A and B are shown apart, each in its own frame.
Chain A
Amino acid sequence: MALVKTSGARLAGICSCVPTMRFDNRTDSIEFSDEEIRKVTGMAGVAARRMAGESVCSSDLCTVAAQRILGRLGWEPDSIDALIMVTQTPDYFLPSTACVVHHRLGLADHCAAFDVGLGCSGYPYGIWLAAMMLQGGGVRRALVLHGETPTRFSDKSDRSVSLLFGDAGSATALESTDPRRTSDWYYALHSDGSGYNSMIIESGGFRDRFGTDPRKHCVNMNGALIFNFTIKRVPALIDETLTGAGVTSSDVDYFIFHQSNQFIMKHLCAKQSLPPEKVPIILKEFGNTGGASIPLTLTQGNLVRPEERALRLMLLGYGVGLSWASALVSLDREAILESVELDNTKQVSA
């Protein structure tokens, strides 16, 4: 797909939510030797992670985030015209998690609600979909929820994933605005299904519903192929987005990468000559939280926001699918960035 442009949407607020349960890779891991832990965490840059445990789902984290941001914005539930739930860790095969959250938030029946089954690339896709709806008219306010609980599908004995993943949810509130008051947004959206099995949970779906090998109900990640995909695709994605939008990297305040792995991110930054201060990394405390890592970084990455102008942000998602996408968006001075935690001992009631 060629570069896509939208106009007339603004980010009103973003809230992230993580579970309170904190797992320290160094002191809480019992599956691996100290040397293995040192090596993996050193390379990945993950010292600790937040874990959902057995009772918390992505929907719970996203619901808390959405309630908080709606409250902060003073938006009534019946003013929301669309809810897009991006997740690969849904509550159920059916119904869609969007409908579950729609109910929990008390949204009106004129609100469109649907799921998007994307992971690491899902946030730019969600923003694109919402902005297209806002631009099209009829939809005045939209919520993009992105949550993932990858610790719940990680094999605890697989060091390539179990020391890496953390859980998080988020809610992003968007609204239509006068196109003259905001900059145009740009997106590049890509897929390569030939790599579908580079990162896969083989059993549990309808291809192998009741597979008896428990490891096949956990994620299997070919780290080398995923890394190779990343160094091949992400630099080109950045260049394509900059060129298509007619800007240079110096026009972008922050490059908000999916927080995949510190080694990978630093390699990408060096390759693209991006200054480290323009690429916030929050892996140390939160790990890789899938695509939800992008809104989590927006709220936890200590972004410096100038008084006099909007921030220009390039959001970069890449991974499972294989799927990769960018969104070049603006974040105005009035937009709210917020974070909240969910006590794991409580579950949001359905």
Chain B
Amino acid sequence: MVHMTQREALEWIANLFEVSPQELTPDTLRGDISAWDSLGVLTLLAGLDSDFGIVLSDDDVASIKGVDDVLGIMRRNGKLS
């Protein structure tokens, strides 16, 4: 998996946290998704690494507050159109 549309990326995030894609928009915050707790962060980091080969900087890890930040990371790494 190397390149996604925003819709596909939202589905990927939704699948990661086991929520419906309809529940997610770029404005969705971490606190809005119960599975996106401290363990959910590990799931997200592992998913970015295994599915896209993206390993984040520590600053990136600390800066993720919601879906839009994840989309931004994917975009910066050339995985999102």
Interfacial residues, chain A to chain B (CB-CB below 8 A): 39-40, 43, 160, 195, 223-225, 227-229, 231-232, 263-264, 267, 270-271
Residues B50 and A224 in contact, CB atoms below 8 Å apart: no
Stretch from B8-16, B19-27, B53-61, B66-74 contacting the other chain: B53-61
Which residues of A have CB within 8 Å of B61? 224-225, 228
Bound CA span A39–B38, Å: 11
Contact yes or no, A232 B39, CB < 8 A? no
Question: A228 and B39 in contact (CB under 8 A), knowing A195-B58, A267-B50, A271-B50?
Answer: no
CB distance from A71 to the nearest CB of B (A): 43
Instruction: Classify chain B: how many residues form its interface, as a range.
Output: 10 to 19
- B residues adjacent to A (C-beta < 8 A): 38-39, 41-42, 45-46, 49-50, 55-56, 58, 61-62
What's the dominant secondary structure at chain A's contact region?
helix
The 8 Å CB contact of A271, one of B38, B39, B42, B49, is B49
Q: Which of A43, A195, A229, A270 contacts B42 (CB 8 A)?
A: A43
Chain B residue contacts of A232, Cβ below 8 A: 55
Complex partner residue of A223 from B38, B46, B49, B55, CB under 8 angstroms:
B38
Q: Is the CB of A43 within 8 A of B39?
A: yes
Contacts of B55 in A (CB 8 A): 228, 231-232
CA of A43 to CA of B46, assembled, Å: 13
- Complex partner residue of A270 from B38, B50, B56, CB under 8 angstroms: B50
CB-CB under 8 A from A264, the residues of chain B are: 42
